[in-house]
Amino acid sequence: MTHPQPDDFLALPASGTGPGVLVLHAWWGLNETIKAVCTRLAEAGFVAFAPDLYHGQVAATIAEAEVLGGTVDANYWQAKTEVAAAVKFLHEQAAPSERRLAVIGFSLGAFFALALAAEDPERIGSVVLFYGTEGTMDSDFSASRADYLGHFAANDEYEPQSNVDMLAESLGRAGRPLTFHTYPDTGHWFCEPDVTQAYNPTAASLAWERTLAFLNRSSTQ
């Protein structure tokens, strides 16, 4: 599959070029929240690209998201192929082309972001995780060359602290630089304003500030 597809979202800075950031959506799909993230990144000088792993479908409820997320899980290798194609497209758009990309993964997207950094170390230089890990997997990140920033909720029924600890241990064994933040009084999706029952504007603002600082540092390396 080539990119962009009709339902993908590309946001360019005023200059038309800049460091590239791949944005991988949560199990809701490529909704307005993810598009807003790309737009904000473009306003900060980045070329932001979000591939649509659901091909036009967006979930409005947890039940719908479970179905769509399950479809991606069942077609895992197809989804990975689409993510790899998105990286290639973004790498061609970003400038300078030899600079490595950043990837931001929200929840479900974080799972793919982690795999991508380990499998494409030549292109991926930094990873930002929003309340997502690889679950109970104990993965090998020895091939990765990325730096990692993670934002996690203190009260998360989907990502228990044990998952976060396991991921930190795996990255530590690989010698990867990492900074993980846990936000008190938050749950899963605390950075997504359309998920009103979970959104925490104070924590979301702080996480965004930390993310931009991290991306700006990474883009100069």
For residue 3, being part of any structural domain is answered with no
For the chain, what is the domain count? 1
Domain of residue 106: give its range. Answer: 9-219
Distance CA 143, CA 5 (A): 30
**pTM reported for the whole predicted model:** 0.94
**Is residue 21 situated within a structural domain?**
yes
Rounded CA separation 103/138 (Å): 21
Q: Tens place of pLDDT for every residue, the chain, 221 residues?
A: 556 777 899 999 999 999 999 999 999 999 999 999 999 999 999 999 999 999 999 999 999 999 999 999 888 899 999 999 999 999 988 877 667 899 999 999 999 999 999 999 999 999 999 999 976 566 789 999 999 999 999 999 999 999 999 999 999 999 999 999 999 999 999 999 999 999 999 999 999 999 999 999 887 66
- The answer to whether residue 28 is domain-embedded is yes
Residue entry with tokens 């998105």: 86
The CATH number assigned to the domain holding 190 equals 3.40.50.1820
Say if 2 falls within a structural domain.
Answer: no
What's the per-residue H, E or C state across 67-136?
HHHHHHHHCHHHHHHHHHHHHHHHHHHCCCCCCCEEEEEECHHHHHHHHHHHHCCCCEEEEEEECCCCCC
Q: For residue 138, is it within any domain?
A: yes
Evaluate whether residue 27 is within a structural domain.
Answer: yes
